[in-house]
Amino acid sequence: DHLSSHRISLYPSPLGDGIRKKAAEIYGVPEDWIMIGNGSDEILNLIFRAFLGKGDVVMYLYPTYILYRTLALFQEAEYQEIPFTYDETLPMELIDRPAQLKVICNPNSPSGTFFPIPQMEKLLQVSDCPVVIDEAYVDFSRDNCLSLLKTYPNLLIPRSFSKSFSLAGMRIGILFAHPEIVHGLLKLKDSYNLSCLSQVAAMAALEDIDAMWENVRKIRETREWFTRAMRELSFTVRPSEANFVMVQKGGENMRLLYEALKSRQILVRFFPEWPDLLRISIGTDLEMKTLLNALYSITGA
Ligand SMILES: *Cc1c(COP(=O)(O)O)cnc(C)c1O
């Protein structure tokens, strides 16, 4: 019925009314605090366009999601990349230096690590600019920042349906923010940014959110035993709250290991920019066992 030929001959809902209504129910955030995007990437794009002009400063930790730098370059903004610290406290520079926009990916990619909410609150209290907390991976973590929205009108939380909902091909993102921010961003957004197919997919995903939680439960379980197994192989593995783990071995260059795995048709992520680490996505138990067996035979362990 949602997809009858009659329906697809019409334009989709510009604001994603159905999604907003359902999301409002599930997340306990009013509809006018919600904006839909063509993937969370579109939402990030709109945020950078709205808040950054030439010479403005955007600040984020690094290494992180590489799109932040690309978007800053588009705006001719100055990007200040503050070295990531792998403990649970935010670097003081990020908290108390002035900027026009601050972005935190929580959980972060590629590290998978998670900053506890009181750290985010500290950042929000001190910063007098918009603060984006990119929660693309948050469903895999222990907590989230939605409850801070009411207190901090400078908080923007983009989320994605690409990871925990496994809908990357549908391009669905959702933003939670103060209605004034949503109102402003809507002026920049393409009217029909989400096709009716994507809207139907998003609604179906939200209506069966238990399926997502069940998938998340499995991935977390696999992540935990896989982390232990990798540590036994003397890899350093940061405690991950995402659907991947970051592994390192001293400062060793990981390219050869990446290529050896690839020749066995096992794909992990190697970043030329950070050659001393691999990011390994969590798949099924069987896939992770296959990977471990490949590592035993490659390293002779
Ligand atoms: C995947 C990802 C996105 C973009 O997600 P889409 O909804 O697929 O556009 C944004 N931020 C981070 C940190 C991501 O990993």
Q: Assess whether the C-beta atom of 37 lies below 6 angstroms from ligand 1.
A: no
Q: Are strands 173-177 and 155-160 parallel, antiparallel or unpaired?
A: antiparallel
Question: What value does the mean pLDDT take over residues 11-36?
Answer: 97
- Quick one: 4 exposed, middle or buried, by C-beta within 10 A (0-12, 13-18, 19+)? exposed
Q: How far is the CA of 183 from the centre of ligand 1 (A)?
A: 22
Are 280 and 292 a contacting pair, CB within 8 Å? no
Residue 8's pLDDT is 85
- Note the pLDDT of residue 60: 98
Q: What does the pLDDT read at residue 2?
A: 65
pLDDT at residue 121 tops 70: yes
Q: Mind listing the pLDDT tens digit for each residue in 252-279?
A: 999 999 999 999 999 999 999 999 999 9
pLDDT tens digits, residue range 196-205? 999 999 999 9
CB-based contact 95:120 (threshold 8 Å):
no
**Amino acid 301: pLDDT:** 61
The mean pLDDT of 54-66, rounded to a whole number, is: 97
- pLDDT > 90 in the chain, percent: 95
Report CA(293)–ligand 1 centroid distance (Å). 30
The answer, yes or no, to whether residue 1 has pLDDT greater than 70, is: no
Q: For ligand 1, is residue 113 a contact (CB within 6 Å)?
A: no
- Span 162-171, pLDDT tens digits: 999 999 999 9
Calculate mean pLDDT across residues 30-51.
Answer: 98
Atom of ligand 1 nearest to the CA of 43: 9
pLDDT band at 299 (very low <50, low <70, confident <90, very high): confident
Q: What is the rounded average pLDDT of the residues 34-44?
A: 98
Nearest CA to ligand 1 atom 5: 40
Q: Please work out whether the CB of residue 18 comes within 6 Å of at least one atom of ligand 1.
A: no
Reading the block at residue 260, the tokens are 């050896």
Confidence of residue 7 (pLDDT cuts 50, 70, 90): confident
pLDDT tens for each residue of 221-257? 999 999 999 999 999 999 999 999 999 999 999 999 9
- Which atom of ligand 1 lies at the shortest distance from residue 105's CA? 13
Q: What type of residue is 226?
A: F
User: Average pLDDT of 205-225?
Assistant: 98
Preceding amide of 107 cis, omega within 30: yes
Each residue of 178-190: pLDDT tens digit? 999 999 999 999 9
Which helix (DSSP H) or strand (DSSP E) does residue 278 occupy?
A: strand 278-281
SS3 76: coil
Looking from the CA of residue 173, the nearest atom of ligand 1 is 7
The residue whose CA has the least distance to atom 12 of ligand 1 is 136
Q: How big is the CA angle at 286 (ends 280 and 292), to the nearest 5 degrees?
A: 50
What mean pLDDT value characterizes the chain? 96
User: What pLDDT, on the 0 to 100 scale, is given for residue 282?
Assistant: 98
Helix extents (H) in 36-81:
39-51, 67-74
In this predicted model, what pLDDT tens digit does every residue of 62-117 receive, in sequence order?
999 999 999 999 999 999 999 998 889 999 999 999 999 999 999 999 999 999 99
